[in-house]
Structure 1
Amino acid sequence: MKTAKNGLSLILDGLMRRYQERVPDVQGVINAMIAEGLIGSADDIENDHIAFRTMGVPHLGIQSLEKIFLHFGYQRREAYFFPEKKLDAFWYAPPTPQFPRIFISELRVNDLSPEAQGIIHSYTDEVTSDPVDLVNLDNAAEVDAFLHSGLWRTPTWIDFQQLSKESEYAAWVIYNRYYLNHFTVSVHNLRPGYDTMEGFNAFLERNGFVLNDSGGKIKTSPDGKLAQSSTIARMVMAEFAGGEIHAIAGSYVEFAERKLLEPFQHLHKADIKREHRREGFEAGNADKIFESTYSTQTKKLNL
């Protein structure tokens, strides 16, 4: 098991390294947290979860990507459905608390218009067998390389624009494939004043970060024990087929506060462990967090 844990660490480190290089807000948040004495270095951040987006087509989607993480000891938990966005999702519990939870969503491609389905299949039909089955899952470097590889040819700008009109999620995935969508800073273990979503959001906005306000800047579960917020994805320059370069939404940073479950309210902060806090996710929260890459939010960065 120790070898498996080491392999998982290498894979997660590879994901985070590339993600951090492409998402300026990651280093910006880290620098601000260090400057205010919340952490000594990035290693002090507790990563609540990471998230992936996939296409629900033959040989791909959740059933394919989850194989990687199930191999490393993750366990599939609750299912979620987002009818308006035409998405399904599962979250996965890590083998040990040192690792982040994983959230994998999947576009219900068959629920889209024939035109959108045709565009998507013109790319994904290039995948004729489950690509994960060809990966040596015991080789962390091979898994890392796979998660950053192109599963189909680079899309055209016209196709990207056409998909965006019906599903910005579809457009994001057709360009980014399995690129890490976001990682999540756990705020509840930070020092007082920053250990609630309200306090941490105030810190973020004081440092110039623009927050996704779909459904409110803080998205809270009905039980009141899971609060989440996120930055808005900044635009990145993307090269499309034929060398066309256009600005599209990249990835973003999420923040989560998991409150104590009722039986553990008496615990001293030093004695609190992950299992004492609210677990899982909330469809209502996630539905709005998805919009961190949508034009209704990204246009606010240019206002």
Structure 2
Amino acid sequence: MEQLFTALWQDYTQRLCPSALNIRQLLTEDAPLRNDHIALRTFALPKCGLARLAAPFIAVGYKPKGRYHFKAKKLYAEHFEHPDPAAPKVFISELQLGLCSTELQTEVRQLVDQVDDDYFANPAFLSQGKPWQLSRDIYQLLNAESEYAGWVAAHGFGANHFTVDINQLEQFNEISEVNHFLESSGFDINQAGGAVKGDPTVMLEQSATMADKVMVTFSDGEMLVSGGFYEFAKRYLQPDGEVYTGFVEASADKIFESTYNS
């Protein structure tokens, strides 16, 4: 499990969200930051769908826990937890292609058809970027209909975010304090639905930076596009005294928009 998350972190900080290294340094206190969860994106196709991305995590002991629907964004998601409560949760979403235009479906299938089935059998695919060739025009076509589709097409696989567990911090008790600190340090915070998404009544509060702009190599040149972002989560105790470990659809819906172009 450690090897899997180490590879994902290296890919995330080197390719998708280099600013995460600076944020981690700013927030780290006496102990290493705890990672609440990571999130992965994909297309709902048998070759590379949610089940395929979940397989490497299930192989190291993760189990499915929650299901989520984001109708406006045409997404379905599940989250997975490990028996070790210290292990990060894993949130995997997929674009429901059948709800998208015929043109988008065709272009996405042509991308995925470039890749052999065997490629997805090796867990390393999760941290190796996009395995297909893609032109800037096709990226922009997909992005115009679904920002999510454009993101997956441009970046392939990898963690679009890691998440700082705010509960462990001593310097900050509230996510609003973390947001203010990061804004004063030059980072943009996702304001969709409010800077702090959720509240104690739903037992989860979240916020996120806006995604880094990263250079992506397309088949016909390079382009600067939105990459990954860093999230922050504060969890509350349930009536039974256990910490809430799920996700809140209304909040997660707005977290997705951290990769939207500002």
TM-score tier, shorter chain, comes to over 0.9
1:174-213 correspondence to structure 2 within 5 Å: 174-191=153-170, 194-213=172-191
Could you tell me how far apart the structure 1 residues matched to 2:68 and 2:200 are? 15
1:165 aligned onto 2:149:
no
Aligned to 1:108: 96
The range that moved more, 9-18 or 201-210, is 201-210
Contact 1:188–1:257 (Cα < 8 Å) also in 2? yes
1:256 aligned onto 2:233:
yes
Which has the higher relative contact order, 1 or 2, with Cα contacts under 8 A spaced 6 or more apart?
2
Could you tell me how far apart the structure 1 residues matched to 2:227 and 2:130 are? 18
1:3-18 correspondence to structure 2 within 5 Å: 8-18=1-11
The range that moved more, 122-131 or 173-182, is 122-131
Contact 2:7–2:127 (Cα < 8 Å) also in 1? no
Post-superposition offset of 1:150 = 5.4
2:246 is aligned, of 277, 280, 294, to 280
Give 1:16's aligned amino acid: W
- What TM-score do the two structures reach when normalised by structure 1? 0.81
Aligned to 1:89: 77
Aligned to 1:147: 126
2:215 is aligned, of 213, 219, 237, to 237
Decide which structure has the larger Cα Rg and report it. Answer: 1
Aligned to 1:57: 45
Contact 1:221–1:285 (Cα < 8 Å) also in 2? no
Could you tell me how far apart the structure 2 residues matched to 1:233 and 1:199 are? 20
1:247-298 per-residue CA deviation (whole Å, 9 max, x = no partner) reads: 100100000000122343xxxxxxxxxxx31120011111000000012xxx
1:98 is aligned, of 73, 81, 86, to 86
Could you tell me how far apart the structure 2 residues matched to 1:123 and 1:15 are? 23
Could you tell me how far apart the structure 2 residues matched to 1:123 and 1:47 are? 32
Consecutive aligned runs of 4 or more in structure 1 exceeding 3 Å deviation: 127-132, 149-152
Give 2:98's aligned amino acid: N
Could you tell me how far apart the structure 1 residues matched to 2:25 and 2:12 are? 16
Give 1:31's aligned amino acid: Q
Could you tell me how far apart the structure 2 residues matched to 1:151 and 1:253 are? 21
Identity %: 35
Structure 2: 5+ residue stretches without partners: none
Aligned to 1:273: none
Aligned to 1:5: none
Contact 1:64–1:130 (Cα < 8 Å) also in 2? no
1:214-248 per-residue CA deviation (whole Å, 9 max, x = no partner) reads: 00000005834100000000211111003x11110
1:47-105 per-residue CA deviation (whole Å, 9 max, x = no partner) reads: 00001001011322112111111111000011100000000000001231221000000
Could you tell me how far apart the structure 1 residues matched to 2:209 and 2:130 are? 28
Contact 2:212–2:228 (Cα < 8 Å) also in 1? yes
Aligned to 2:14: 21
Q: How many residues align?
A: 261
Could you tell me how far apart the structure 1 residues matched to 2:59 and 2:240 are? 33
Structure 1: 5+ residue stretches without partners: 1-7, 136-142, 265-275
Distance 1:198 1:182, change over 3 A: same
**SS of the residue aligned with 1:59?**
coil
How much is the aligned-residue C-alpha RMSD, in angstroms?
Answer: 1.8
1:293 aligned onto 2:259:
yes
Could you tell me how far apart the structure 1 residues matched to 2:192 and 2:32 are? 29
Give 2:6's aligned amino acid: D
Could you tell me how far apart the structure 1 residues matched to 2:240 and 2:69 are? 30
Post-superposition offset of 1:148 = 2.7
